[in-house]
Chains A and B, each alone.
Chain A
Amino acid sequence: MTPQPSAPGPPRPLKRKDAPSSSNTAGSTNHNKRRKTQVALDASGPSKRKDAQSFSATTKNARHDKRRQTTKDARAISSQASSKAFKNGELDVDKFVKAREYEIKALEQGMARAKKALAERAFQQVPKELRRRTASHNVKRVPKRLQRRAAREMVEDKTKSDRRKPSRHMRLRIETAKRLRALSAKQRARKDAVVKDQGTTNVQSDQRPVSVKSRKPRVKKNALKDPPPAPAKFRKRQIGKSWLPTHLYHAKRAHMTSPKEPLWRYAVPLTPTMKSYRPTHRASGDRGAVAWDMSYMATVSLAGTEQSLQGLLRALGIGVSPETKQLWETRGQRWSLGTRVWEGWLYCRDSFPLQAIAPATVIWCAENEPTSVLGAVAEEKANVQRKTVRKLLIRVHPSAFHQLWDEVLRLAKVQKPQVMVEDLRFEIGSIEITGPASTEALLGALWPNTSTSCRDWPQGSVEATWSSLAEITNPATLPENVLFGFDIVDPRLHHPPRTIAIPQSTRESALLSTLSKWPCDQTQTSPKLFDRNARLKAARALPSQKAINRRKSFAVPGTYPEPKPSDAQIPILLYATRNLQSRNGGQSRAQGTWNFLLPWKAVLPVWYSIMYYPLSTGGQPRFGGLREKRQIVFEAGVPWFPGDFPGTAAGYAWEVREREKRKEDWAKRPRGKRTEWSSVDLGNGKKGEIGDGWACDWERLLTGMAPPTTGKSAEAAGDPSSKSDSVSPPPKLCHITSAAASSLLSGSSPLHNIDLSTALATVTLDLLVRGVPQTCARIYRLPSSSAIDPTAISLRNSWLALVPTPESRRRGREQKQPFPSRLRRDAPPHVVHRQLAQSLLKPPQAGEDEYPVCPGEEDLIGFVTTGNFNLGEGRGTGIGCILLGRVLDRVREGRDEGMKGRLCVVRNAGQSVGRLARWDIAG
């Protein structure tokens, strides 16, 4: 009955006596016969009843029966008869073992088959991130390979299909489309007729110009640039905003900003339509790569003598503080030679620690005669240098662009000789990519241009160095902020990209020596991206897709088309950055990021090349939206501009925008289902949320407790820079960068002109207990230890009692469950006693009576600007801003008590439970 005992073949249902092929009757009766034999075995009521039904065999029932039978077959587990297993009924160790082995195999196969035969519909096979709610009713919503199966299943289980009569709006659109199609067909016919006429008679040919030579547009210096004219087809959709070069790609695959509310005057992808963030998290840290089109970042080009450029940058606050002074000396030499980039904060004119504008990237253009020795400063060169015009790029977030532009323009006119400022906003685009496979993906997409036919670059050249980086899985391993400037070939000529060959570890030493010597410092020539003519030329030389396709069709099958000297050379600037600081100082996981700038028109082909690059680890790079960008940065513990810097004008504008959005969301909900802010219990009999529940209410924080009477704040209010902001005047907040804030807290720097009552610092929040902070959560300090009020002291002590000791933390790790499981009813008394003792020793949990209440509003120090669950940490973390003036004395008085000075309580807006946390200056 069964095959060899050692290898169970296709398992059959239990004890079926008749082979299906033996009876040649019609299908349905065959099943009945089979069923009958099983009835004796199963002896279960339902199967008998089914039998009776299937005798009145309609075709539908037959199909149903067939399905039942197949599932039944799939679920049956094969078994072995004793007479087969043991010859002559003799017991034997060998046979005994074989019988068990057979059983194991049969059960495993049975499990696998039963799982396969689960009633799984086609749309359930789609990976989670691709699932659509409508897929169960609309076949078109599942991937093509599953559509046929899905259609069949829908018929089988009588799912109602989504095929409805088109709605009125839909009918109108269908009609319009039909009419447009007819119109275009007519036009095409007319055009063809004209061409034919020309071909035959050749009458009008001399009237047509052969080629129109376009005049080069004059460079608009010191003026803002208009967005490029959109193609007529899309013009109406770009009024009041502009599209990124990859808009069409993203609009199909991502949720974009709504048409009425563009972000920073761009249509920005917010988040991919693919569900679930976790794959993006994995791609950014473990395997894969995530890319963003960052073309909305604004670029400003400055040209002038080195001295006046330096003066301008100094006025913007670069290298002014004592810590960064070295930037203008030996330390920043590589930067000013154009082989490194600099990232940091820019400030309003000559107001260094105050009035921060935005973090920016500054890139110097390398000069064409490469300096042989870094340290050599020749005196005779100095004279020449004074005359030669140098260029640099400033790259800044669009939300702060106008503020920076005004500042730069004003400063440029003051310099002697003047600095020329050019707005390159729609001329230079950029792409950002992070993740372990980012280097690989970029190498596959960015092929350095070969001026000659051979693909060998001289040893140590920029192109050769770039091509040797294939093994790098983290851009942060490169020297800090390295910059490459070279030309690439049109990536469409080698599309679709192929996985590059990654050299094995035998060449590791070569890579290590490259990384340590970094030959590009000597060989970097002036990148062509700084040259306007080169940019324009590259953009114009980009052939049409049609031409590319033609060339590809002429190429030998399986090879890419031969490069031609007339091919476009796309200039790019590529630089790697690392997150300055990551959470807990854990540098091992911190991924660096590749950024590259390239002409606006070239962004799209390069983007496609990256997106379709087959990674050696499987899959393709993913793309991210703004939300992914924010979350990845958040998980690294780094604040995001502008959202986490409400002390800047751009950050405050962002906060106002978000505040309105949250208020709208809140107002939309029915009264019974939304948080009633006025009835939030804050403890000690206080009721009502502090300020607006949907906002990080900085106004309330500043004015709520202490009336603004100091002269300093009035002075700040009259500041000209705050007026330039178009939104609403920011409430005199002033962002203090991390370096300044930490030196202030450590007491190493004097408090010169910083107004402590309005100085905001961005902090990271680590919750010491449970809980997830949300955006807008309130941050409180602990009541002062030197308070006179005894209740304040006891509140402070009860909060301090919650601080987990190293011992309790260890115990928590040892216990699998953080909470004791419910005792069994018949538990012995000693177990009950033990549990009781443990529960008495444990700090109070939230919700219990002993759990401390939140401190009062006088102890409010700030708000959480970004709070969420952190997949990297496996718990909730937050990034917030606090008023430095309110924590300074706590930090100073708690300096000798370890971390006590930096303890705080975080309470989500609309909730009454506070959570103990610890703050640290971020960035």
Chain B
Amino acid sequence: MVRIKHRYLLINILYPDPKSTSGRPATKPGDEVPYTVQFRRPSPDRMDGGVLTRLIRDGVAELYGDYGSGKVAGSLQVKYFSQATSTAIVRVSRDYYRLVWAALTFATRLPNPVGQSCVIQVVRVSGTIRKSEEEAIRRARLSIRRAEAAAKSSNAATAGLAAATPQLLSTEDDDADMINGIEDPDDPRDIEEDLDDDEG
């Protein structure tokens, strides 16, 4: 018997429009929310796995027509969606995951009950759900560290203790760099190697 093979796409949803999102910076004076926290906002309450599925299906149908939606429909499934962190894991058959990826990349707006502009990043493609979960954990850890570091530095700046913090920061996370406004850019080789692991 031949195993049915899937791909698992780890997705981050970003909400670039600051006005319409649910997560607004706290209004308390003097309490500035760091940029890293603002960058990754929670999803609105009405957004869920179903909406994401619909978005993908519509997107695939729009880009690839009946052929694409037929190929994708059988295996498409949202395995995990977290509103608070705007992270999702989408499963799709191995042969057609590129269609889904394209649909996600071209999506600019969440469908109707939510109706909000968005950017979707596919941050990891893996052959097993386990690996994508591990990656999600790694990224969550990373963003925790970044947020804490940013909060600390802003606090330190207000308290006038700026001298001590750079050392702390440099030891803690060297990888918390931002390149072109995107955190943790992926090495394209990572994804390909990951695929190679699984195809054997």
Q: Which residues of A contact B (CB under 8 A)?
A: 5, 14-15, 40-46, 77, 79-86, 89-93, 96-97, 99-104, 106-108, 110-111, 114
Contact = CB atoms under 8 A, between A and B. Distances in A.
Given A89-B42, A92-B33, A93-B148, 11 more contacts: A41-B53, A44-B76, A79-B80, A82-B45, A84-B84, A92-B26, A96-B147, A100-B140, A100-B144, A103-B136, A111-B133
Contacts of A110: 80, 133
Interface residues of B, number: 50
Contacts of A111: 130, 133-134
User: A-side binding surface: helix, strand, loop or mixed?
Assistant: helix
B84 A103 contact: yes
Nearest to B132: A107
A7 to B, nearest CB: 14
Given A100-B143, A103-B85, A111-B133, A14 B23 contact: no
B115 interface: no
Nearest to A46: B74
A254 to B, nearest CB: 38
A646 B33 CA distance: 82
Interface in B119-177: 129-130, 133-134, 136-137, 140-141, 143-144, 147-148, 150-151
A81 B83 contact: yes
A79 B83 contact: yes
Interface string B56-82: 010000000000000001111111111
Contacts of B134: 111
B5 interface: no
B49 A15 contact: yes
Nearest to A2: B84
Contacts of B79: 77
Contact of A93 (B34, B73, B77, B136): B34
A97 B148 contact: yes
Closest 10 pairs between A and B when the two form their complex, measured CB to CB: A85-B84, A82-B42, A99-B84, A79-B82, A80-B84, A82-B83, A89-B22, A100-B140, A93-B151, A90-B26
A367 B29 CA distance: 97
7 contacts: A14-B81, A79-B81, A81-B84, A96-B143, A103-B85, A110-B133, A114-B130
A100 B85 contact: yes
Contacts of A46: 74
A14 B85 CA distance: 15
A101 B33 CA distance: 18
Scoring A77, A91, A96 by chain B CB atoms within 10 A of each residue's CB, the highest score goes to A96
B48 interface: yes
A853 to B, nearest CB: 35
Scoring A82, A97, A106, A114 by chain B CB atoms within 10 A of each residue's CB, the highest score goes to A82
Contact of B133 (A14, A41, A107): A107
A50 to B, nearest CB: 14
Contacts of A104: 137, 140-141
Contacts of B76: 43-44
B58 to A, nearest CB: 12
B116 interface: no
A910 B90 CA distance: 53
Nearest to A99: B84
A691 B44 CA distance: 82
Contacts of B41: 91
B54 A43 contact: yes
Given A15-B49, A82-B45, A77 B80 contact: yes
Contacts of B22: 82, 86, 89
B147 A97 contact: yes
A107 B136 contact: yes
Interface in B9-30: 22-27
A42 B77 contact: yes
B39 to A, nearest CB: 10
Contacts of B185: none
Nearest to B148: A97
Scoring A90, A99, A100, A106 by chain B CB atoms within 10 A of each residue's CB, the highest score goes to A100
Nearest to B192: A824
B92 to A, nearest CB: 11
B42 A86 contact: yes
Given A82-B43, A91-B24, A108 B81 contact: no
B23 A82 contact: yes
Given A14-B80, A77-B80, A91 B25 contact: yes
A38 to B, nearest CB: 10
Contact of B24 (A89, A96, A101, A102): A89
Nearest to A42: B77
B23 A89 contact: yes
Given A90-B26, A91-B25, A100-B144, A83 B45 contact: yes
